[in-house]
Amino acid sequence: MPALLEVKDLKKYFKTSNGFLHAVDGVNFTLDEGKTLGVVGESGCGKSTLGRTILHLIDSTGGKIYFEGKDVTDPSRRQLSELRRKMQIIFQDPFSSINPRMSVSETIMEPLQLRGGLRKQEIVERTKELMATVGLAERFWRTYPHELDGGRRQRIGIARALALNPKFIVCDEPVSALDVSIQAQILNLMLDLQEQRGLTYMFVTHDLSVVKYISDDILVMYLGQVVEKAESDELFRMTLHPYSKALLSAIPEPNPHSQRKLISIKGEITSPINPKPGCRFMARCPYVADRCKEPQILEEVMPNHFVACCRCREINDI
């Protein structure tokens, strides 16, 4: 059975006055139906751009996107309309992504009205059902976004994303703007919805404790490229890339007696504008060698564990 989503050598470059900014540069992965792929990395590494390129919110520069076994890299207008029903997004900021002039019910109704084919009463019933599904009481029917807290506003965004019964949802840091207690509620809601509806998620975040909780596989990005990819438990058990090691060392440790040492990343960040072909982490890596100047290939160094580092085996003694 083919993967629900397959991305091959996907690229997205933005033209600047100094050249092309390589926001996404040669990303490859597959995502099976009903699974969650976590995408992590520092701000500016290209993870949100990757999600929006897959959804065709922005056009790709190169590469291929396959959805349900079909090439959807350059869809026709009709194909794109169909994809809009099957692929949705939950945005990071639950306030700015919602029209402040529309009530809760109007916001959730909008995709149903735009799709067409439903009578007014059917739309109303479907909206009530969606509100109940995401935990929004019916008393909020005529409430406006500014009258709600961040958690309830994000529930509106989730309900809107679910309106057309999609198969695949890009979750673009959906809990980063919420406090910790609300984060847990939203994450548990998303896991329940995934189990009930068989949803497939691409979960974009910079919070590694969150991505460990919700993801089946994790993809680590650095300056537009994938540097490590593995199953969630495997990545936390055996972290192989120097950048991934530094990221994981920064996770807050609840045990005050823990001996875990924070790995400090020093040096200047390589410019993403017309970057040289070598390792983009080279200027900040403590294990740098001459061969790091050559292009790094994402290769399988352990079963289902892929790393883009020519010194990976030496560093980790594998």
Domain ranges of the chain: 5-316
Tell me: pLDDT of 298 over 90.
Answer: yes
Is CATH 3.40.50.300 correct for 5-316? yes
Q: Is the pLDDT of residue 116 over 90?
A: no
Quote the pLDDT of residue 260: 66
94 pLDDT band, cuts 50/70/90, is confident
Q: What is the pLDDT of residues 167-204, one digit of tens each?
A: 999 999 988 878 888 888 889 999 999 999 999 999 99
Q: How confident is the model at residue 256 (pLDDT cuts 50, 70, 90)?
A: low
**Per-residue pLDDT at 257:** 63
Instruction: Say whether pLDDT at 259 is over 70.
Output: no
Residue 150 has pLDDT above 90, yes or no: no
Rounded to whole angstroms, the Cα distance separating 281 from 233 reads 24
Within 10 A of 285 (CB to CB), how many other CB atoms are there? 21
Residue 317 pLDDT > 70, yes or no?
Answer: yes
State residue 177's pLDDT score: 74
| Distant-in-sequence, close-in-space partners of 202: CB < 8 Å, separation ≥ 6 | 5, 31, 36, 37, 39, 51, 54, 168, 169, 170, 171
C-beta separation of 244 from 228 below 8 A: yes
Q: Are strands 87-90 and 70-71 parallel, antiparallel or unpaired?
A: unpaired
C-alpha closest to that of 233 among 303, 297, 315, 311: 303
This prediction has a pTM of: 0.92
Cα gap 50→48, rounded to integer Å: 5
Residues 35-48 have a mean pLDDT of: 93
Q: Which residues contact 71 (CB under 8 A, 6 or more apart)?
A: 64, 65
The predicted structure's pLDDT at residue 93: 83
User: What value does the mean pLDDT take over residues 154-169?
Assistant: 94
CA–CA dist 14, 24 (Å, integer): 10
Q: Is the pLDDT of residue 241 over 90?
A: yes
Per the prediction, the chain carries an average pLDDT of 91
